[in-house]
Amino acid sequence: MALTLITGGTVVGPTGRSRADVLLDGEQVAALLRPGDTSLGVDLASVAQTVIDATGKYVIPGGVDPHTHMELPFGGTAASDTFETGTRAAAWGGTTTIVDFAVQRTGERVQDSLAAWFAKAEGNCAVDYGFHQILGGVDDDSLRAMDELVAEGITSFKLFMAYPGVFYSDDGQILRAMQKAATNGSLVMMHAENGIAIDVLVRQALDRGETAPSFHGTTRPWETEEEATHRAIMLARLAGAPLYVVHMSAKQAVATLARARDDGWNVFGETCPQYLYLSLEEQLGAPGFEGAKWVCSTPLRSRAEKHQDELWRYLRTGDLSVVSTDHCPFCFKEQKELGLGDFSKIPNGIGGVEHRLDLVYQGVVDGRISLERWVELCCTTPARMFGLGDRKGVLTPGADADVVVYDPAGHTSIGYPTDGNGKTHHMNMDHSAWEGFEIDGHVDVVISRGKVLVSGGEYHGHPGHGRYLRRSHSAYLR
């Protein structure tokens, strides 16, 4: 088996940091050693096939992004990253595991939809991948299917309180799915927005001639997120099930979640970099049709109302547990443009799978979170939350050899320059939602199950390296 030795770095985990050399044996972490440790009786640097000098750098577990949508069909088009392009971009950014969403459309068998997602991903992924299952129609068949899927390693199910007529489940359907989750130990992930109320507001806005992208935000006000979050928590309580609320953007919704947690309820929240940095005023409200680049749901929130600062605070204090990307890219040309003259036809989603580690690291630089919390939010907790904690998100002997060497003295410019210098990201998009972002830090080396995917600014990965991950139950279940 090939040995890889990473020397001289500072190993950072969720509970602390220390100077250590990291020894990888084939696809697994073999040992963390005190620098210069000779107790093994061999000079590891001379026997290892690969030696990586991490002096002055952080050595962290590979990133785990538990919320991506490669090839998601949405609004008459499909997310522009395939599993091949999207996982390659993830690798460039230090994410070595994704959990994507298989989508059951109303009327389709859950098992058939899952088979279609396996077929899309198999042989194409650069990094390891698992699936959640979106339930587009809760009925007796799909409830039975939940048990079957849990046995196959799909231990989480996403439901939508938004998008009536597309993905929407009513309260009775949600309650039944949660009752099933309470019996089979799976985790319900909720898109918490009151879609029925939103549809009324959207219709009224369009009737007033309000067609620009910014009206996507004003017709999905924080009340619709907080109300749905509250309802989801109550339904979970009724069912005796845990709950994970995805892509939270409204500070009021997180406050509701935090109160339930204070009362001892098993509820968790996730946010995404776009909600930490971008806003209704600056991005969604950009002149003309430009704001379409930032149409996503839940929407970007007002900076004047300080949602972004509050979300950082909730990340720091622990009421938000995970940062995912909700990577759902659409090109501007011909995809976002489907909503020219009608914001409600703009496909919802932002691409960012490549930038999560960098963007959240900027929170360390800015003094908003600690180095350890960065690792916990981006690597350890997502792995544990979704039943991968024994293999992913940690650097302990026996864990998968997924490692990122991160250079705090490096620099990352994010964007999609149109000045002839070519693009600076690897996602299949014709623009960047993160244009002009400058990061004090850089992903230097990325290793997935012992294989170096990125180093020295070069890509060494290939489609098919990534393997399917059969997940266990969440480590956060009671």
Positions that interact with ligand URP (CB under 6 A): 69, 191, 247, 296-297, 326, 328, 348-349
| Preceding peptide of 15 cis, ω within 30° | no
Phi then psi for residue 297, to 5 deg, are -135, 130
Nearer to ligand URP among residue 170 and residue 263 (C-beta): 170
The partner in contact with residue 61, picked from ligand URP, Zn ion, none with C-beta cut-offs of 5 to 8 angstroms by kind, is: none
Which residue number, 249 or 266, has a Cβ lying nearer to Zn ion?
Answer: 249
Name the minimum Å distance from CB 274 to ligand URP: 9
Nearer residue to ligand URP within complex by CB, 4 or 297:
297
What's at 391, amino acid-wise?
R
Closest distance to ligand URP from the beta carbon of 193 (Å)? 9
State the minimum distance, in angstroms, from the CB of residue 442 to ligand URP. 28
H/E stretch holding 382: helix 381-385
Q: What count of other Cβ atoms lies within 10 Å of the Cβ of residue 254?
A: 26
* Binding-site size, Zn ion (CB under 5 A): 2
**317: cis peptide before it, omega within 30°?**
no
Give which of 24, 87, 25, 112 is closest to 61, Cα–Cα.
Answer: 24
| Tokens at 62, concatenated | 């590979």
Report the partner that residue 4 touches, choosing among ligand URP, Zn ion, none (CB closer than 5 to 8 A by kind). none
Q: Are 469 and 128 in contact (CB under 8 A)?
A: yes
Choose among ligand URP, Zn ion, none what residue 176 binds, the Cβ cut-off being 5 to 8 Å by kind: none
Of 244 and 289, the one with the shorter C-beta distance to Zn ion is: 244
Question: For Zn ion, which residue has the nearest CB?
Answer: 191
CB 58, min distance to ligand URP, A: 30
The residue behind tokens 């042989």 is 123
Mark residues 167-196: x for contact with Zn ion by CB under 5 A, - for none: ------------------------x-----
Q: Residue 410 Cβ, how far from Zn ion at the closest point, in Å?
A: 30
- C-beta of 28 vs 87, nearer to ligand URP: 87
Q: How far is the CB of 468 from ligand URP (least distance, A)?
A: 22
- Which residue of the chain is nearest ligand URP when measured via CB? 348
Residue 57 binding Zn ion, by CB under 5 A: no
Q: Nearest approach, Cβ of 430 to ligand URP (angstroms)?
A: 18
**What six digits make up the tokens of 77?**
């088009």
Of 191 and 384, the one with the shorter C-beta distance to Zn ion is 191
């003094």: which residue's tokens? Answer: 367
How far apart (Å, rounded) are the C-alpha atoms in residues 108 and 117? 13
Between 191 and 384, name the residue whose CB sits nearer to ligand URP.
Answer: 191
Q: How far is the CB of 134 from ligand URP (least distance, A)?
A: 9
CB of 345 to ligand URP, least distance (A): 14
Q: Which two tokens stand for residue 286?
A: 């950009």
Question: What is the C-alpha to C-alpha distance for residues 273 and 282, in angstroms, rounded to an integer?
Answer: 15
Partners of residue 5 on adjacent β-strands:
23, 51
In the shown chain, the binding pattern of residues 326 to 345 toward Zn ion, with x for contact by CB under 5 A and - for none, equals x-------------------
**Judged by CB, which is closer to ligand URP: 214, or 412?**
214
Nearer to ligand URP, 168 or 312 (CB): 168
CA quadruple 169, 266, 359, 424: dihedral sign: negative
On whether the CB atoms of residues 89 and 354 are closer than 8 A, the answer is: yes
Cα–Cα distance measured from residue 429 to residue 307, given in angstroms and rounded to the nearest whole number: 27
Q: Which residues contact 80 (CB under 8 A, 6 or more apart)?
A: 329, 330, 331, 335, 351, 427, 428, 429
Cα 21 to Cα 7: distance, rounded to the nearest angstrom = 5
296 binds, among Zn ion, ligand URP, none (CB under 5 to 8 A by kind): ligand URP
Number of Cβ within 10 Å of residue 66's Cβ equals 26
Could you give the 3-state DSSP secondary structure of residue 134? strand
**Which residues contribute to the site for Zn ion (CB under 5 A)?**
191, 326
